[in-house]
Amino acid sequence: MALKRVVIAGMGFGGLNAAKMLANSGLEVVMVDRNNYHLFQPLLYQVATAGLEKESIAYPLRALSRQWQHARFRMGTIEGVDLAGRMLKLKDGELAYDYLIMALGSRTSYFGNDCIARHAFDLKQLEQAEALRNHILLVFEMASRESDLANRSALLTFVIVGGGPTGVEFAGALRELIVHVLSKDYPEIKLAETRIVMVEAASSLLNAMPEHLREYALCKVRSMGIEVMLEVKVVSADGSSVALHNGVVIPTCTLFWSAGVAASEVSAGLGVPLASAGRVVVQPDLRLAEHPEVYVIGDMACAKQDGLPLPMTAPVAEQQGRHVAASIMAVERGEAVKPFVYKDKGTMATIGRSAAVAVTCGMTFKGWPAWAVWLMLHLYYLIGFRNRLLVLMNWAYYYFFHEHQVRLITDADDQKAGGLLNGR
């Protein structure tokens, strides 16, 4: 007798947790992703700032599937779903399912501003982190031999848009890379010549945090020498400058965007109701109203609790992944499916070495204690002993010696700074 097939589209945090629970459950589990690895996205910014090797935050999915009975992985680009025919459409074929878990995550949203999309860096994929690291190192190479002061200033100015956890963590890591490492690698460049500017449309950084933690984060960021512009929006960019809504123009060759996210493009082709940011409207149990065999989780799903949509974060996706796995097994047993209830365990963000903010279990932390909690939790959620060991060793080496070892320019051609470099 053939086993019923559960297809998991997308192997981020939601898909991974669903697969873990469904493994060895008596169902056939097929994991589908365009990459052959699970990516630990929260540490992408450390790859971009030369703190970690890219391999240390990724884990091969086939290594997971071989440990689980009736589970397999298929690498492929997902283009859509035939809901009526129960088929997942891939670029190279179709895949039938009895149950489908849509967990394709999110993409960066530039709010329809094409010029920003063309010239900004973001951090969603492993190759983007490597490209950004290459770019940062390239502009320092270029600046070290640039005699024109205006060009040199633009090369050494970094604009970061978005004051959420990603923006704050990237800004802090970039500043430490410049202060402790690149200032020594490039003695021709004075530290005072470098400039990091954070631009945030809201009135504070880390808006999800309590006020006293937001104030701490702002003071800490500014004390590191990072400029912070609040209640300011970026309206355009051209690769050599960034224009703000107040008329200010910042000459820069580096624009990093972390100001918005939207659901995967696949959501728009499902033919089901969508909410803001292209998120799929789901029932309280995370199923589609007219297709109860289809579950949508993570950043793709617009699931409401207490009247508000749940945030597009990894903890939400993880809990939803476990919930839908339990729901599918309940359906197979003939039991009722329960609505999803998110248990908020808190949020955290690191600002730099020995500094972080955290809210968990009704308590707030800042400074070194929050940083220690951040380190332990990120190590815990990494997959694979080797990855945990590599990351721990890199962190320990940096903590004691202030050195980033992954200062490699692996592609000097296909970069936003490459045209400037090759033209000199």
Tens of pLDDT, residue by residue over 211-253, are 999 999 999 999 999 999 999 999 999 999 999 999 999 999 9
- Which candidate, 300, 311, 313, 312, places its Cα nearest to that of 267? 300
Q: Which residues pair with 75 in a beta bridge?
A: 33
Give residue 165's pLDDT.
Answer: 95
Exposed e or buried b for every residue in 292-317, given b needs 16+ CB within 10 A? Answer: ebbbbbbbbbbbeeeeebbebbbbbb
Tens of pLDDT, residue by residue over 73-91, are 999 999 999 999 999 999 9
Tell me how far apart the alpha carbons of residues 116 and 238 are, in angstroms, rounded to a whole number.
8
Tens of pLDDT, residue by residue over 12-54, are 999 999 999 999 899 999 999 999 999 999 999 999 999 999 9
Residue 158 has pLDDT above 70, yes or no: yes
Between 353 and 110, the more confident residue is: 110
Domains of the chain: 5-34+76-108+261-332 (3.50.50.60), 114-259+347-422 (3.50.50.100)
Give residue 2's pLDDT.
Answer: 83
Q: What pTM does this model have? A: 0.94
Residue 393 has pLDDT above 90, yes or no: yes
Residue 1 has pLDDT above 80, yes or no: no
Tens of pLDDT, residue by residue over 161-211, are 999 999 999 999 999 999 999 999 999 999 999 999 999 999 999 998 999
Tens of pLDDT, residue by residue over 262-305, are 999 999 999 999 999 999 999 999 999 999 999 999 999 999 99
Residue 422 has pLDDT above 50, yes or no: no
Residue 93 has pLDDT above 60, yes or no: yes
Band (pLDDT 50/70/90 cuts) for residue 412 is confident
Residue 420 has pLDDT above 90, yes or no: no
Tell me how far apart the alpha carbons of residues 198 and 168 are, in angstroms, rounded to a whole number.
8
State the catalytic residues: 169
Band (pLDDT 50/70/90 cuts) for residue 401 is confident
What percent of the chain is modeled with pLDDT above 90?
Answer: 90
Tell me how far apart the alpha carbons of residues 28 and 7 are, in angstroms, rounded to a whole number.
8
Give residue 424's pLDDT.
Answer: 38
Work out the mean pLDDT of the chain and round it to a whole number. 94
Give residue 418's pLDDT.
Answer: 46
Residue 109 has pLDDT above 50, yes or no: yes
Band (pLDDT 50/70/90 cuts) for residue 346 is confident
Residue 400 has pLDDT above 80, yes or no: yes
Tell me how far apart the alpha carbons of residues 241 and 164 are, in angstroms, rounded to a whole number.
23
